[in-house]
Amino acid sequence: MKITDIRYGMLRVPLKTPFKTALRTVDIVEDIVVEIHTDTGHIGYGEAPATAVITGDTHGSIVEAIAKFIAPRLIGQNIANLNRITQLIQTSLEKNSSAKAAVEIAVYDLFGQLYDAPLYKMLGGGDPVVTTDITISVDYIDKMVADSIQAVERGFEALKIKVGKDIGVDIERVKAIYAAVEDRALLRLDANQGWTAKQAVYALQTLEDAGVRLELVEQPVKAQDLDGLRYVTERVHTPIMADESVFGPTQVIELIRMRAADIINIKLMKTGGISSAIHIADIAALYGVECMIGCMLETSISVAAAVHLAVAKANVITKVDLDGPSLCAFNPVDGGVIFNESEISITDAPGLGIREIRGLERL
């Protein structure tokens, strides 16, 4: 099975409600979709969102990186040579992690198809079902409480609460949600770099003293502020998770060496795809550090790849934050993984199991 062509398209899917964080507000998912065609007629699918405020990738840069730097290296390559292909992708240019991820996902999809097996089995196997949390966007307190109650009633047992806008209001938001859901759901806070280290310690100690128990707090400080991250980790009981601070394996090693966080959030759009995500999971496992698997605003194309990875690395990926498709107004994918509120399951279809993508605008 050899690569003969790489094509692109734009996929637009409205969100059920606006997605609001300390960094941005989004109303619609607009992602670049990659199709890798082969001489056997098989097609591999990948996807990348333009998350400029986090990865630096834009729609234009994703397409340019693939068309000018990555694709020319891959034409004619045999899918069976997976390690060689992933090396070609990763060394094609610096950064551009989302572009690399989209292509890698499509390649891994084809790798599973080559051997007529679902991707998770090619990565080591596991129980093909995971349970995800759901995001509660930052908003007025009453709206966030209502959204949280609704999510619990839909069966979600973990809520990812967006904060980081205003420290005083953030504390009241969390107290109100905690009181409303009681012990029916775990609460995960995500500040999206919105606090300083001292603000984070103040907020979390205040919540802890008030009896609020949180499962974790994600990226309370700026991505580059590892000293600040460690400052927070050392001063609160609540587990601290690094997200934007960790893109690749070398950063993971440094974070673990500094003891700057308790948990690592793996996202394929940060790691540049599945190969580096595997390295991160293996490093974390060696040191006994838990990981979460997360996503940007992605549809079920790239999220499917993250689900397969989560299943195969369940020994270290103990938490799942793959609610992107659940936030979308509809699923544009025929086939792939199955989303049923908080439960995500994998079929026995080869690769990612994607048969067709509806509404794709060719570029």
7-58: pLDDT as tens digits = 999 999 999 999 988 788 999 999 999 999 999 999 999 999 999 999 999 9
Q: What is the pLDDT of residue 165?
A: 84
Q: What is the pLDDT of residue 4?
A: 98
Per the CB < 8 A criterion, the answer to whether 277 and 266 are in contact is yes
CA distance 198 to 322: 30
CB environment 249-264: b (16+ within 10 A), e (fewer) = bebbeebbeeebbebb
Q: What is the pLDDT of residue 254?
A: 97
Active site residues: 162, 267
Secondary structure of residue 107 in the 3-state scheme: helix
The residue length of the chain stands at 363
Kind and range of the H or E element at 141? helix 141-153
Rounded to the nearest 5 degrees, what angle is found at the Cα of 361, between the Cα atoms of 110 and 47? 35
Kind and range of the H or E element at 308? helix 300-312
In terms of Cβ atoms closer than 10 Å to its own Cβ (0-12, 13-18, 19+), residue 9 is: middle
| pLDDT above 70: percentage of residues in the chain | 100
pTM: 0.97
* Helix, strand, coil percentages, rounded to 5, for the chain: 40, 25, 35
The single-letter DSSP state of residue 54 is T
Closest CA to 103 of 120, 118, 89, 117: 89
CA distance 80 to 115: 9
Low-confidence ranges of the chain (pLDDT < 70): none
